[in-house]
Structure 1
Amino acid sequence: MSHLPVLLTEVLAALMSTDHLPERVIDGTLGAGGHTGALLQTGVQQVMGFDLDPQALTLARANLAIYGDRASIVHASYAEMRLYVAQQGWSDGVDGILLDLGVSSMQLDTAERGFAFMKDGPLDMRFDPTGIRASAADLVNHADADELADLFYEYGEERESRRLARAVVTGRPYATTRQLAEVLEKVMPRRHGVKAPHPATRVFQALRIAVNDELRIIKTVLPDAITLLRPGGRLAVISFHSLEDRIVKQTFKDAALEISSPPGMVLTEKRAVVRLITRKPIEATAAEIAQNPRSRSAKLRVVEKI
């Protein structure tokens, strides 16, 4: 199966439209290497790509082999990019950073990874199934109803969180995605002819975010990424749901905010460290959505280091 990088043209335009061709770029979410390959093909000298997923890394190594040592592939979270940048000898920073947040099409399409409720597989959801994090099955089988309800509400924005959490606890134990999805659908059956998300949609999103600690990592990494940029370097972030986009939008807004003290007044001054390249997020074109329906919810925001 071909795995299409989302907003590829827009990402290239965002990262390449500086006064000079970027020398060093970090792809924090390497996947199969689609974005990285395009950057190298366009003339970027070196790309360091991060991913937690061993299957994705195997594909990326094969896809990027033609670029030799111009592509550095790291089996680690993008949360560790500062450490690896220092080890690489890039102490003076990088010219571009890309983060394509959330779960990949490849992960959703692989039943064994446990991300998708439409495919039956082990209830896992870890980006790195070889790691030490607890799986989604561990979470739903051991958390109490209040903990699950809070999780479904906070990370899935699920209004029926308490009702669903009680049903999940009653239906335990779970080993597969289908077992959990069936319990959720019994609680909130879909009405015939009504277009609405599957009742498992928000719960599965919430579990995935919790299992991988996604939102905390995003909040931590964005300031780090801005710090790593050289002046004129750009940070491009693709998000897929409102929780991610809200964090990206607010972080970028805060980093671009400048506060000056009026004459004669003593206030805390703050200098902007970036300028906003995108006032509003860039979204996929109709043509891309037709080719890759999952791009429909993608939003790209970009800032440039001052």
Structure 2
Amino acid sequence: MSTAPAANPAPAADAADYHTPVLLDRCLDLLAPALAVPDPVMIDCTLGMGGHTAGALERFPNLTVVGIDRDPQAIALATARMARFGRRFRAVATTYDAVDAVARDASRRTDGTVDAILMDLGVSSLQLDAAARGFSYARRAPLDMRMDQSAGRTAQDILDSADERELEHILRAYGEERFAARIAAAIVRRRADNPVTTTDELADLVREAIPAAARRSGGNPAKRTFQALRIAVNSELELLERALPRALNALRVGGRLVVESYQSLEDRLVKQVMAAGASPSAPADLPIIPAGAEPYLELVTHGAEKADAA
């Protein structure tokens, strides 16, 4: 991992004008009790354009935030946006499963812990709205989909090299696509003569591969395929699976973790980890909970909270 800023960042106003963070006030309300200490430290595991970080730094004047992102463009935009906060902010270019190492470096405690951690999962609006990145089926672009365009295989690489069984697994496991087999077969047939090479071509192929009745509801029929490829390209679920326990272990006693998730696969992983930590580790039929088997987490919401339309 490396510390940013990146060279020649965009003007700070660009990011602020371009992006409104989801559930900002609610996230900060949930984090606030953990930040009511002298000189608190928070890790923003998914910095993006810095909307949540900027809001936190404005609301808590003694707070220091370390922002993690693997996307150099996001690092540049957020760093420019946060320049007014001086040394209260810094960015680290890495994947967020390194949250424990980042926390140890940022900590003001001998045990290497921090006060609060925020995760805003999935693809950012910066990536979706940049047509050339290939995340959106709404704009013609090469099939890249990498959050860090300097490394790793692209969606095009997967479509060109994966066999039909692997493609079906990716679509079914990461997109929960019920027509995964039909779409995978269509991709393999197509690449024998005229491989798919752009986002609009892939969207058209998916539309043609599924039954006509399935095209008439539920939005663009390609959305699950694009989600699946993006998750596979960026190893998103594997990163989240590693990051969640590391984030919890990086919090001090009384610290708080807030996670925003946007699809059922992320949501399921988060709920499993939270539920496990909030439950005794002893067998359920014991009359008492033995010492050391008590829950180590306290849930501060009753289940997941959903954003309203605004």
Fold conserved (TM > 0.5)? yes
Deviating more after overlay: 32-41 vs 85-94: 85-94
Identify the residue that residue 218 of structure 1 maps to in structure 2: 240
> Is the 8 Å Cα contact of residues 27 and 48 (structure 1) preserved in structure 2?
yes
Q: Deviations over 1:172-205 (max 9, x none)?
A: 2232211211211122376699332322111111
Which of 216, 219, 231 does residue 209 from structure 1 map onto?
231
> Is the 8 Å Cα contact of residues 190 and 198 (structure 1) preserved in structure 2?
no
Change over 3 Å in CA distance of 1:195–1:130 after alignment to 2: same
Identify the residue that residue 110 of structure 1 maps to in structure 2: 130
> Is the 8 Å Cα contact of residues 3 and 32 (structure 1) preserved in structure 2?
yes
Q: What is the CA distance between 1:269 and its match in structure 2?
A: 5.7
Q: What is the CA distance between 1:19 and its match in structure 2?
A: 7.8
Change over 3 Å in CA distance of 1:185–1:255 after alignment to 2: same
Question: Quick check: 1:11 aligned with 2:27?
Answer: yes
Question: What secondary structure sits across from 1:158 in the alignment?
Answer: coil
> Is the 8 Å Cα contact of residues 106 and 114 (structure 2) preserved in structure 1?
no
Mapping of residues 48-127 of structure 1, within 5 Å: 48-90=66-108, 91-127=111-147
Question: Quick check: 1:29 aligned with 2:46?
Answer: yes
* Whole-angstrom CA distance in 2 between matches of 1:141 and 1:211: 13
Mapping of residues 1-306 of structure 1, within 5 Å: 2-18=18-34, 20-21=36-37, 23-43=40-60, 44-90=62-108, 91-131=111-151, 133-172=152-191, 173-188=195-210, 194-260=216-282, 262=286, 270-286=293-309, 288=310
Change over 3 Å in CA distance of 1:174–1:226 after alignment to 2: same
* Whole-angstrom CA distance in 2 between matches of 1:60 and 1:34: 8
The two structures have a TM-score, normalised by structure 2, of 0.86
* Whole-angstrom CA distance in 1 between matches of 2:162 and 2:233: 12
> Is the 8 Å Cα contact of residues 121 and 262 (structure 2) preserved in structure 1?
yes
> Is the 8 Å Cα contact of residues 135 and 211 (structure 1) preserved in structure 2?
yes
Alignment gaps of 5+ in structure 1: 289-306
Change over 3 Å in CA distance of 1:30–1:193 after alignment to 2: closer
Question: What secondary structure sits across from 1:130 in the alignment?
Answer: coil
Q: What is the CA distance between 1:245 and its match in structure 2?
A: 0.3
Alignment gaps of 5+ in structure 2: 1-16
Identify the residue that residue 8 of structure 2 maps to in structure 1: none
Q: What is the CA distance between 1:277 and its match in structure 2?
A: 0.7
Identify the residue that residue 301 of structure 1 maps to in structure 2: none
RMSD, matched Cα:
2.2
Letter in 2 for 1:57: I
> Is the 8 Å Cα contact of residues 48 and 73 (structure 1) preserved in structure 2?
yes
Deviating more after overlay: 98-107 vs 192-201: 192-201
Change over 3 Å in CA distance of 1:268–1:187 after alignment to 2: farther
Q: What is the CA distance between 1:108 and its match in structure 2?
A: 0.7
The two structures have a TM-score, normalised by structure 1, of 0.87
Question: What secondary structure sits across from 1:159 in the alignment?
Answer: coil
Change over 3 Å in CA distance of 1:266–1:186 after alignment to 2: closer
Question: What secondary structure sits across from 2:298 in the alignment?
Answer: strand
* Whole-angstrom CA distance in 2 between matches of 1:193 and 1:217: 32
Change over 3 Å in CA distance of 1:19–1:201 after alignment to 2: closer
Letter in 1 for 2:220: H
Letter in 2 for 1:285: D
Deviating more after overlay: 182-191 vs 51-60: 182-191
Could you tell me the percent identity over the aligned residues? 41
